[in-house]
Chain A
C-alpha cells in the first residue's frame, strides 16, 4: 500500500488539512505556522495539489499533536473566511445536528 506521504492529492477547489487532537479527539485545523487550531478560520487554505500534498505531509509527520490528518474541502465565504465544504465537515465543525440539549450540537 502506498503511504499517504507518497500519494498525490487531487483537489478540485480550496482545501484545509484537518485532524483530531491527540489528547481529547477534538477537531483541529492545520495553521500556517505548523500548529493546530480548533477554529477553521485559523486554517491554512491551499488551492493546488502540490501545496495540499506538502501541507498534509507535514501534518501527518506531526504524529504527537493530532491524529488522522486529511485534506478537507472548504468554501470561501463572502467575508473571505473558509467554511466547511460538505456535510461531514460541517458536522465536524459545528457538532451533531441532533437534539442540542443532549448532544451539545447545533
Chain B
C-alpha cells in the first residue's frame, strides 16, 4: 500500500473544487460544450452512448479496502450498482450524471481517488504488475518507479498537451504481466552483466489502427536516470510527432517513420542536456518513495501446510480453484490469489457494488486490506495466508468471483463495445458472454491450457485484440456486425501481433469459428503441453484457416 502525502491530497481536493465550479458554469450555460469538453476530459469524464462515463485511475493497480468500498459507494449512489474494470488498471462507471459528478468526485477524493489524466493527450495512468511486491520472479517492486513517474508527470505543464495520449508500463519480473511492449514507453527492470539493476527502455509500442510492438532503444539505463530519460523521450515526441493527423500522432508512428535508431539518437541528444540536472535522482528521494509503500506484517508460516493438502484432496472444486487461481508468493506460507471477474455469461471486468463491498471486507480479513487490479480485468488478493485459502475460497465462491478460469479460454478481455462506447462499431461484451457459455466446461478449458481471447468492438483496440492468442475485432459492413479473427498474438515478454485468419465472419458465427479454431488446435498440437500460441507459431494460421473456412 502507498501512503499519499498532504501535497497529493491538496492537488486532488483543489481539482474537485475547480471541477465543481466548471460543472456549475456548464449547466448554467456560462460555458459552452466546446469550452467544457477539454475540462471534463481532464477529469476522466466522457460522454458515451447512454450517459456520461467516469474513468477513475487505480495507480499501479493497488487498492486499499476503503478505496474499494468508496468505488462500491459511487456505483450505488451515483450509478447503477456496478463498475467496469478496464485493461489499464482503471475503473469506469457507465451511467453517471453530469449534475452528480461534483459530489461523486468529492466522495472519491475523500479516499484519494480521482480521474485526473485518465483521458486527454497527457501521460495516462502508469501501469505495473498486479503482483508487484509479492511475485517471486521480480527483481524489486516496480511500483516505486511507477509512483516516481506518476508524481513527475502529474500536471506536468510541458506534457499536458501532447500530440496524443501517452501510456507507460513498468515491469520488474521475468514474466511480463504488464504488456509493456504495447506501451508508448515500456520499462523493464532487470539486472545487467555487472549485477546492477536498471531499466531496458522500449518505445513505440501500441495497438489501435496501426499496431506495433515496442522497440528497445536502450538496453540498460541506470535507475538514477529514469526521470530524465523519460523526459527526453517525451520532449522528442512532443517536438517531432505529427499533430496534423489524429491517426498518425502516437509515438509509435514517429518511431516507425524515423526508425528506432534515429529516434534513439534524438532522445540521447536531448538527454545529454538534462541528465545531470535536477532530474537526476537522489537515492534519498527514491528511498523516501519506497518508504511510503507499506508491506504487511507477515506472520512466520510454513509453505504448503498439511491441512491445505488434506482439504485439496477432500474437495475437487477447491483443489481445481487452488490449481488455477492461486500463485506463489515471495514470502513463505503466503499466496497470491486471483479473483475472476469472468463468470459464465457475465460481462468481463464488471463487479457490482455489493461484490466490491464484500471483496473489501474479505481483503481486510484475508489480504491485509489490499486488493490489486490487473490489465486482464481481474482482481487480486496479494497477501493471503495459505492456511486461509479454503475459508477464503468459500467466501469468494459465494459472491461469484471464484470461477477457476484464470488464464483459460473463458478469461476473456473485452472492451465495452457498442453496448456503451460512442466510438465502437460493434458489440464486444455479448460476444464474450456467448463464448463463456460455449466454454463453460472447465475440464475442457484446463485441457486447452493457457488461451487468451481478446475482443475489441472497433479498431481502437481497447480490448487488445491484436495480442490475444485469439483476437476478435468487430467491424461494421453495410450496417451489420462482422468480426475479424486473428491467431497467435501474445502480450508477454515474447509479445507478438496476431495474424489474420481470413475473411470477417458475421456476429452469429463468431463463437462457432472460435470453437473450430480450438478444435483444430487440439488436433494440431504436438503434445498436450504445447500451448495454443506455440502451435500457431509452429504451423502458422493456414491449417486453422483451412478447417474454419471449409466448414463455414
Contact = CB atoms under 8 A, between A and B. Distances in A.
A20 B37 CA distance: 14
A97 B424 CA distance: 14
A86 B51 CA distance: 19
Interface residues on A, range: 20 to 34
B29 interface: yes
Chain A: interface secondary structure? Answer: loop
Interface in B1-46: 26-27, 29, 32-33
A95 B427 CA distance: 12
A22 B33 CA distance: 9
Contacts of A63: 29, 32-33
Contact of B433 (A24, A25, A98, A105): A98
B419 A25 contact: no
A91 to B, nearest CB: 6
Interface string A9-41: 000000000001011111100000000000000
B98 A24 contact: yes
Contacts of A104: 80, 95
Interface string B334-375: 000000000001110010100000000000000000000000
Contacts of B96: 25
Interface of B is mostly: mixed
Contact of A20 (B47, B95, B345, B433): B47
Chain B interface: which size bin? 20 to 34
A95 B345 contact: no
Contacts of A98: 347, 419, 429-430, 433
B413 to A, nearest CB: 15
A93 to B, nearest CB: 10
Given A24-B99, A91-B418, A102 B352 contact: yes
A103 B347 contact: yes
A87 interface: yes
A25 B427 contact: no
Given A22-B26, A22-B27, A25-B51, A99 B418 contact: no
A92 interface: yes
A98 B429 CA distance: 7
Contact of A68 (B47, B99, B429, B481): B47
Top 7 nearest A-B pairs (CB, nearest first) are A96-B419, A25-B51, A24-B97, A25-B52, A64-B29, A98-B429, A23-B99
Interface of B: 26-27, 29, 32-33, 47-52, 80, 82, 94-99, 345-347, 350, 352, 418-420, 427, 429-430, 433, 479, 481
